[in-house]
Every structure is written in structure tokens, then in C-alpha cells.
Amino acid sequence: MKILNGILLVTAACVGISSCGRRAIIRKYYLLENPRLPASSDLTVPAPLPFSADVRDFQVGKAFDQTRIAARSGSNELDYYFYHHWAVRPSMALADMVHEQIDHAGLFQRCARGYSYHPDFIITGQVMKLERLLEGHGDTAHLAVVFELIEVASEQRLVRHEFDRTVRLDQDGSMNGFANAISQMTFQETKIFIEKIAARFEGKQG
């Protein structure tokens, strides 16, 4: 009996050591979000345009329309991280960022996220690329998007802003650094989009 008890104690100790020595493997989720917008911002327009606008979910290429983060290791080779995911689908996350920035800028009298009653304009976009490029000399964040302002009454696309950008992840090559690089690019390009809309309607308010 003593020998059996000893075996049980040794077995329990080994299991305990194995459990304590092994780190739990968990999935990590990353947010796409604007940097903190100050109360007084250079994004603010002189006066809101006398219109209403809805910011709708973006369309995303099928290869990137999921929460798994895409990693490109070759010209036509695309993989997905198993433990690294977007916290919110890109179709919604990027639209959320654009809405927050446009609303903060005071571009329109009313700017809704989603669907509202009889908006004057719809803001939407298409995400062609949202990926991490795995390169031997250092990884790169890659984002290619089109922003559009559509007039509801005429169904015309009045303002279009397209960009295809990459940023080297030299300073912070972590996945958090990658998410931050995508967020910064979206923020910077949304600012340009706002400026294009304001210029399109310059002198036509009222």
C-alpha cells in the first residue's frame, strides 16, 4: 500500500509540474481604432455641410472578409494566423473608424452609422487588401481601400478616394504594431477623404 501511495504521489506531482510548466495557449484579438481625437482637431471643418449622411459597412474582398488575420508569404500565397484575429470584422471595423472621424470633424449636420431615415448621402467603401506581408528583410502592413461618397437622390458617386499603402514594421514588429499601422493608415487616409468632400462642396453650403 505504501508503494502504491508513493506511486500516486509521484504521478500527481509530475502532472502538477507539467501543468504549471506549460503556458496556456490563447487566441489574441486586435482592434482597429482611431488614435485619440482631441477636443480641438485640425479635422474640424469651418461649418457642417447642411446634409445628412450614413456610413455603411464596407465591402471586403472574400480573402480578407473574416476575423482571421491574413499573412502573405508569396505573390499568390496567402495564409491565416491561427491565434491572431481581428476583434471586429474589417467590414465593420473600418466603417466604424471612418464614421467616428467624420462625426468628430463635424463634416455633416448629421452623420449616422448604419441606416437612417432618408439620408442625403451614403458613405461606403471597399477593402481590397488587408494583410501582413511576410518578407525576409522585415514584415510590412498592407492596406488597399476605396472610400466613396454617394448621393442618394441621383445615385452618383460624387467623391472617391482610393489608396494602396504599405508600412514597414521596423519599430514594432508585433501583431499589435501591425494593427496600429493599419489603424494609422486608415486614420490618415480618412482625413484626406474628409478634405476631398469639404472641397467638393466648398461655396455650396446653405
CA gap 18, 81 in Å, rounded: 27
CA gap 107, 119 in Å, rounded: 14
* C-alpha closest to that of 132 among 95, 92, 174: 174
**Is residue 195 one of the residues assigned to a domain?**
yes
pLDDT for position 24: 74
**Is residue 36 one of the residues assigned to a domain?**
yes
**Is residue 23 one of the residues assigned to a domain?**
no
pLDDT for position 3: 42
Q: How many domains does the chain have?
A: 1
**Is residue 162 one of the residues assigned to a domain?**
yes
What is the span of the domain harbouring residue 33?
28-200
**Is residue 2 one of the residues assigned to a domain?**
no
**Is residue 14 one of the residues assigned to a domain?**
no
CA gap 179, 176 in Å, rounded: 5
* C-alpha closest to that of 131 among 145, 147, 110, 146: 145
pLDDT for position 171: 86
pLDDT for position 45: 75
pLDDT for position 43: 59
**Is residue 6 one of the residues assigned to a domain?**
no
**Is residue 61 one of the residues assigned to a domain?**
yes
Tell me if residue 24 falls in helix, strand or coil. coil
In tens digits, what is the pLDDT along the chain, a chain of 206 residues?
A: 444 344 333 344 444 434 455 667 899 999 999 988 766 556 567 789 999 999 999 999 999 999 999 999 988 899 999 999 999 999 999 999 999 999 999 999 999 999 999 999 999 999 999 999 998 788 999 999 999 999 999 999 999 999 999 999 988 999 999 999 999 999 999 999 999 999 999 866 54
pLDDT for position 138: 87
CATH number, residue 124: 3.40.50.10610
